[in-house]
């Protein structure tokens, strides 16, 4: 990226100005994100709870199906509510809809059932069917805070942040849909979860881009196994030198950077398409939040996947189409 490459001169660059071509449609899409019926549809309400339950002496069948628990957590995360407030909010909604025979799952039950949801990849990816038209994907990671003092508290009282965070790894396609996501502890390296990210993609991909943290032979071998015809665009690390043991595509990128220079190489190889992963991480932190509310890792993983599913649903509602004017 030119701005990162010229970091010392970045303050001289004027911020780009963009103009929307679909202002009316995007404005309506933003308003639709606040609609209750996006998450609380008639189909979900029809199967909200099981009226008849079986007791066999070892326990009973579940009163609330997974779809109900998912709907509760969607509403909780979209409107940024704690569990108890989310329960009160949903109970009031059911009251206003005239469905007083329906009950909202208790907040303790919502917390316990969160880890039992079968989220392995984000939902709402082209109606949850394998996408047969993925042109390009970008891969990156970011940190989500578990606990710790905020910046104001640190500066005011001169205390240590004592922060702890999890690492969220995203695989995003060219339509801004998060196709795969994995949550790990902060000590896990980016290239160690590459295999898990790629498993959910079952179609051919034309272009794969990632930053230099993924510049390892293991990553290239994984990509070659999953996407043999893909064009891999990963800039080499600063201390990488030519070696016969390198993967052929890695050597090609290394030679290209030395021959053209990093800026020209990025322009020729369309490395700028990697910004869709940066945009996805920014959208997650702005819309969902930069902090995890669950305490257990199993719950945190489900929470992160629910957040990615929300972003995918928002993407389907509408995204801005813009062009640069200055």
Is the pLDDT at 2 greater than 60? The verdict is no
135 SS3 class: coil
In this prediction, residue 62 carries a pLDDT of 87
Q: What is the CA radius of gyration of the chain?
A: 23
Task: For residues 71 and 66, give the distance between their C-alpha atoms in angstroms, rounded to a whole number.
Answer: 9
Question: What pLDDT does residue 312 have?
Answer: 96
Q: Which of 154-168, 237-251, 299-313 is predicted least confidently?
A: 154-168
Distance CA 228, CA 221 (A): 10
Task: Evaluate whether 290 touches 146 at the Cβ level (below 8 Å).
Answer: no
Q: Are strands 231-233 and 18-20 parallel, antiparallel or unpaired?
A: unpaired
**Residue 167 zone, left/alpha/beta (φ > 0; ψ -120 to 50; rest):** beta
pTM, rounded to two decimals? 0.88
What percent of the chain stands above pLDDT 70? 89
Nearest CA to 321 among 21, 3, 5, 13? 21
* Listed range (50-54, 190-194, 210-214, 216-220) with the worst mean pLDDT: 50-54
What the chain holds in terms of domains, given with CATH numbers, is: 23-114 (no CATH), 121-321 (3.30.420.10)
* pLDDT (tens digit per residue) in 125-159: 875 555 555 778 898 898 888 766 666 666 666 66
Residue 64 neighbours by CB under 8 Å, 6+ apart: 48, 49, 50, 105, 109, 113
**Alpha-helical runs (H) found in the chain:** 2-5, 23-32, 42-46, 66-78, 83-96, 107-114, 151-157, 194-198, 217-226, 248-260, 262-268, 275-283, 297-317
């Amino acid at each position: 990226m030119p701005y990162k490459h010229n970091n010392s001169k970045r303050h001289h660059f004027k911020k780009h100005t963009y103009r929307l071509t679909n202002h009316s449609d995007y404005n309506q899409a933003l308003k639709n994100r606040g609609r209750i019926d996006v998450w609380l549809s008639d189909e979900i309400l029809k199967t909200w709870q099981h009226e008849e339950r079986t007791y066999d002496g070892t326990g009973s069948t579940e009163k609330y199906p997974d779809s109900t628990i998912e709907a509760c957590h969607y509403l909780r995360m979209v409107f940024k509510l704690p569990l108890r407030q989310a329960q009160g909010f949903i109970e009031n909604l059911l009251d206003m809809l005239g469905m007083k025979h329906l009950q909202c799952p208790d907040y303790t039950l919502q917390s316990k059932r969160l880890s039992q949801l079968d989220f392995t990849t984000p939902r709402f990816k082209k109606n949850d069917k394998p996408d047969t038209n993925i042109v390009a994907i970008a891969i990156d990671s970011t940190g989500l805070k578990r606990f710790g003092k905020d910046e104001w508290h640190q500066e005011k009282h001169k205390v240590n942040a004592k922060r702890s965070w999890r690492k969220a790894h995203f695989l995003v396609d060219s339509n801004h849909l998060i196709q795969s996501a994995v949550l790990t502890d902060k000590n896990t390296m980016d290239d160690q979860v590459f295999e898990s990210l790629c498993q959910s993609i079952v179609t051919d991909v034309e272009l794969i881009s990632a930053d230099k943290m993924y510049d390892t032979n293991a990553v290239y071998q994984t990509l070659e196994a999953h996407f043999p015809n893909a064009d891999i665009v990963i800039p080499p690390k600063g201390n990488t030198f030519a070696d016969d043991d390198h993967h052929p595509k890695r050597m090609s990128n290394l030679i290209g950077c030395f021959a053209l220079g990093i800026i020209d190489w990025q322009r020729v190889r369309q490395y700028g398409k990697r910004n869709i992963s940066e945009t996805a991480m920014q959208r997650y932190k702005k819309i969902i939040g930069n902090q995890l509310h669950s305490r257990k890792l199993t719950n945190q993983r489900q929470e992160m996947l629910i957040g990615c599913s929300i972003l995918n649903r928002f993407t389907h509602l509408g995204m801005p189409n813009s062009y640069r004017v200055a």
